[in-house]
Amino acid sequence: MTSNDEESLGQLANGYVHTITNDDGYVKKTRPGDENGSSYWWFLSTAFPMIAGTLGPVASAFSICSITEPWRQQLNPGVNIQDALSIEDPPWLLIIEAIQLFVGLFSNLTLLLGMAKRIRFNIALPITILGWYASSICRITLNVVVARRLKDVNVSEGDVIWSQSFYYGMWAAILYFIDATLLAITLRGTCKGHYRNTLPLTKSQRTLMLQSIMLLLYLLLGAYIFSEVESWSYLDAVYWAFVTLFTVGFGDYYPETDLGRALLIPFALAGIVSLGLVIISVRSLIVEEGSRVVTTGIGNKRREKMIKKMVLRGHNYVLEPIHDGFQMSIIGLDEPHQSELERRKDEFTLMRRIQAEASTRRRWVAMAISTFSWLVLWLLGAVIFQVAEKAYQNWSYFDAFYFCFEAWTTIGYGDLTPVSNAGRSFYVFWSLMALPAMTVLISNASDTVVRIIRDATILVGNVTILPNDRPFRRNVKGLINKVTFGKLFHNQDSETVVPITCDRTFEKGLIGDKDRSQSKPNHDRRLAITTVTGHPIPPSTEPLKTKFSSNSTPDLTHCAQELIATIDFQVLLLSEIQTVANHLQESQPHHYTFEEWTWYLKLLGEDESSSKTHCRDYSTSQSWENTRSEGTNGLKLKFDI
Note the pLDDT tens digit of each residue in 602-636: 888 777 777 776 654 434 334 434 444 444 333 33
Q: Which fold has domain 34-201?
A: Butyryl-CoA Dehydrogenase, subunit A; domain 3 (1.20.140)
Better-scored residue on pLDDT, 317 or 348: 348
**Could you give the residue range(s) of every CATH 1.10.287.70 domain in the chain?**
202-447
Look at residue 492 and tell me whether its pLDDT is greater than 50. Answer: no
| Side chain identity at residue 156, one-letter code | S
Taking the alpha carbons at both ends of the chain, their separation in whole angstroms is 14
Q: How far is CA 103 from CA 64, 109, 152, 343, 392, in A?
A: 12, 10, 29, 63, 36
Give the pLDDT of residue 551.
Answer: 37
Other residues' Cβ atoms within 10 Å of the Cβ of residue 425: 28
User: In this prediction, what percent of the chain has a pLDDT beyond 70?
Assistant: 65
Alpha carbons 622 and 557: distance in angstroms, whole number: 12
Look at residue 438 and tell me whether its pLDDT is greater than 70. Answer: yes
User: In this prediction, what percent of the chain has a pLDDT beyond 90?
Assistant: 30
Say if CB 114 and CB 199 are below 8 A apart: yes
Write down the architecture of domain 202-447 according to CATH: Orthogonal Bundle (1.10)
* CA 219 to mean position of chain CA atoms: 27
* CA 573 to mean position of chain CA atoms: 33
Look at residue 528 and tell me whether its pLDDT is greater than 70. Answer: no
Alpha carbons 146 and 544: distance in angstroms, whole number: 79
**Could you give the residue range(s) of every CATH 1.20.140.150 domain in the chain?**
34-201
Q: How far is CA 496 from CA 13, 382, 595, in A?
A: 26, 60, 11
Give the pLDDT of residue 516.
Answer: 35
